Each structure stands twice: as C-alpha cells, then as structure tokens.
C-alpha cells in the first residue's frame, strides 16, 4: 500500500499513516520534555536553596572563628 517513494498512501484529510505516526510520537516527546523541564526547575530550586544554606553556614563559621580569637 505504499506509493513509488515508499511512503504509505494518503487516507484522507488526516494525512498519511506515516505522518500520523510521526505526529503521535511528537506529542509523546512533547509530554516527556515538559516532564523533564519541571524536574529541572525543581532541581534548580533545590540547588539554589542548598547553596544559600551552605553559604550562610560558612559565613557564620567564619564570623564565629573571628569572634573567638
């Protein structure tokens, strides 16, 4: 049921079978990318929080060491 180029025949206004399959795969890929983006956002927020916490702890340690002398 393929034409001379090896592509499946056109069905109707929805496009060819190959195009429909590619569209479904692209939709699935979009969903995966959105999920990964949200995970990256959460990771970035966690890393910024950890950096602020460690920076504050280092600053307090430095102040305490200076005061103890």
Q: Residue 1: helix, strand or coil by DSSP?
A: coil
Burial class (CB in 10 A: 0-12, 13-18, 19+), 63: exposed
Q: Do residues 11 and 17 lie in contact, with contact meaning Cβ atoms separated by under 8 Å?
A: yes
Q: Region 23-44: what's the mean pLDDT?
A: 94
Q: What percent of the chain has pLDDT over 70?
A: 77
Q: What is the predicted pLDDT for the residue at 20?
A: 75
Q: Give the pLDDT band of residue 69 (cuts 50, 70, 90).
A: confident
Instruction: Please tell me the distance from the alpha carbon of residue 62 to that of residue 36, in angstroms, as a whole number.
Output: 38
Q: Name residue, tokens 């307090």.
A: 60
Instruction: Please tell me the distance from the alpha carbon of residue 47 to that of residue 30, in angstroms, as a whole number.
Output: 26
- Mean pLDDT across the chain, nearest whole number? 84
Q: Region 23-30: what's the mean pLDDT?
A: 89
pTM of the entire structure?
0.57
* Domain ranges within the chain, ordered by starting residue: 10-68
């Amino acid at each position: 049921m393929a034409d001379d180029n090896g592509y499946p025949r056109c069905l109707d206004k929805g496009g060819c079978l190959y195009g429909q399959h590619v569209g479904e795969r692209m939709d699935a890929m979009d969903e995966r990318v959105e999920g990964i983006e949200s995970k990256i956002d959460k990771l970035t927020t966690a890393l910024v929080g950890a950096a602020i916490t460690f920076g504050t702890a280092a600053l307090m340690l430095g102040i305490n060491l200076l005061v103890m002398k």
